[in-house]
Amino acid sequence: MSSIEASMSRRQLLTMIGTAAGSAVMYNAMTTLGFAQASTYTGPIKLEGDPKGASVLILGAGLAGMTAALELRDAGYKVQVLEYREKAGGRCWTLRGGDKYVELGGAVQEVKFAEGNYINPGPWRIPHHHYGVLDYCKRLGVKLEPFMQVNHNAYLHHTEAFDGKPQRFREIASDYRGHVAELLAKVVNQDALDETVTPEDAELLLESLKTYGVLDENYAYVKSNETSEYRGWEKEPGGGVDGAPIPSETIGLAEILQSRLWTNLITGDSIDHQGTIFQPVGGMDMIAQGFEKQIGDLITYNAKVTKIDQNEDGVTVTYVDSNGGEAEQTASADYCICTIPFSILSQIEHNFSGEMTSVIDSMYYEGSVKFGLEFKRRFWEQDERIYGGITYTNLPISQISYPSTDYFSDGPGVLLGGYCWGATAYQFNALPPEERVARAVDYGAQIHPQYTEEFSNGVSVSWHRVPWVLGCYGIWRDKEAQYAAAAAMDGRTLMAGEHISYLPAWQEGAILSALDAVTRLHQHVVSA
């Protein structure tokens, strides 16, 4: 087996899923992996009318649960939230220095990052068109800053190309575009497109290719001052006596094609990754903290739900202390909004309908692994002039994302040292955390040799080992057939969370599903 296949990008994963599983699964995966449609959020919801003292029990204090709690409380409902963890947020989660994370199997990771450094094990980006998340950030006073997705000065890397030496994104992108433009211009000039393009449009096409590909007067992509304006210079323009720049050599088409470095050229062009894309200042869980400030008094923490019983009078939920207590407690309400991931809910005693039960029991959660690596200094900035953005590689770590904050600071910095899916994630999941981190450091050192000298400490989160979700997002077996049943009100309960949305794995999906659930619940209550 050639290690030319040794890593997988989202796009490659999609190709594989499309081939293996057909278009329905492909669509599901596309929306998940970031090729999705815009949010349907239209502004803060208005729950008008008297809830007549109705009470709602919300299971789970992630973004879906807290959105529901905030809106229902504001509309006059009596609200109680049960949360398994000791804090709110769910997958909206940030690890900082001083945090302790215990994964399934008992391995303990004490995060040793310096003050101000962090890693978001779950969601880490907020696209410009996720209006729901953005609006709640504004309402909750959560400060946002740009997340650097595309950085032309970051790298594209393949172990079997260019002797394993990483190439600047800018050079591959400019040269690939230039060569493709040159080839197409040749075809036009050979009159090979006469049946497809009118003579007038052929002229315009040639003109546009010259601009688009930075071609010379003969429609050739060559070493020149013009192409160096895009791909970079051999010697940068300067001042004074020796200020004249020296243009750089271009890389040949065959070499680029065979390198497969084109694989991730348009990853940042999908609507979910286009600029502007945001992150909360200080870590993703600033959103969770913002919600917690508003409705934290409604949350019962360390509550492990063991049974959900609904009947014509209401819903009663049994729970025990998450830290191993045996003593059962109960909470009751007129209605329930359940945001417990189906991977967990399928193991809890309940009396939902047979149809709902079959959906719950059929949903498994995808595996994924992230690494937060702290280095003694920001060598990527100081040595390589990389300020934020992402390097892509065929190594098992798949990518390295540089921090989009605190540029030029002298202290230690934290990289996302890997973000893996598929068979790679399964295998990292089977390793103890310290070995996962050690391997991520070894792999990353093939791109940044400074890793070896500068590495300080690291943490890794494998989502199949996260005790309260058993994966990172829900996978539908047959979304088309099952979705309506899962979204429908079942007795006195409505489900909400990223899994009840067409934006799976995105926080926007969690918020939109919660808003839809509370809207329908409210209509039911006021019309009863």
Give contact residues for other proteins (rule: CB under 8 A): 1-8, 12-13, 16, 20, 84, 104-106, 159-161, 254-255, 258, 304-305, 322, 340, 343-344, 346-348, 361, 364-367, 396, 422-424, 426-427, 429-431, 434-435, 438-439, 441-443, 462, 464-471, 475
Which is nearer to other proteins, 15 or 42 (by Cβ)? 15
Which is nearer to other proteins, 239 or 354 (by Cβ)? 354
Q: Are 219 and 206 in contact (CB under 8 A)?
A: yes
Spatial CB neighbours of 411, under 8 Å, sequence gap ≥ 6: 114, 116, 377
The burial of 105, by beta-carbon neighbours within 10 Å (0-12 exposed, 13-18 middle, 19 or more buried), is given as exposed
Q: How far is the CB of 157 from other proteins (least distance, A)?
A: 14
CA-CA distance, 316 to 300, in Å (whole number)?
A: 15
Q: How far is the CB of 522 from other proteins (least distance, A)?
A: 29
* Type of residue at 506: W
Which is nearer to other proteins, 13 or 206 (by Cβ)? 13
Q: How far is the CB of 458 from other proteins (least distance, A)?
A: 12
- The C-alpha angle 396, 392, 215, rounded to 5 degrees, equals 145
Q: How far is the CB of 158 from other proteins (least distance, A)?
A: 9
Please report, for residues 226, 253, 269, 312, 462, the alpha-carbon distance to residue 256 in angstroms, rounded to integers and kept in the order given.
20, 5, 20, 66, 34
Q: How far is the CB of 501 from other proteins (least distance, A)?
A: 20
- Helix (H) or strand (E) run with residue 484 in it: helix 479-487
Residue 179, CB-side half-sphere exposure with 13 Å CA sphere: 16
Q: How far is the CB of 348 from other proteins (least distance, A)?
A: 8
Which is nearer to other proteins, 145 or 434 (by Cβ)? 434
Q: How far is the CB of 133 from other proteins (least distance, A)?
A: 24
Which is nearer to other proteins, 153 or 159 (by Cβ)? 159
CA-CA distance, 297 to 343, in Å (whole number)?
A: 27
- Burial state string for 304-327 with b = 16 or more CB within 10 A and e = fewer than 16: bbeebebeeebbbbbbbebeeeee
CA-CA distance, 94 to 47, in Å (whole number)?
A: 32
Which is nearer to other proteins, 244 or 254 (by Cβ)? 254
Strand partners, 331: 317
Which is nearer to other proteins, 207 or 361 (by Cβ)? 361
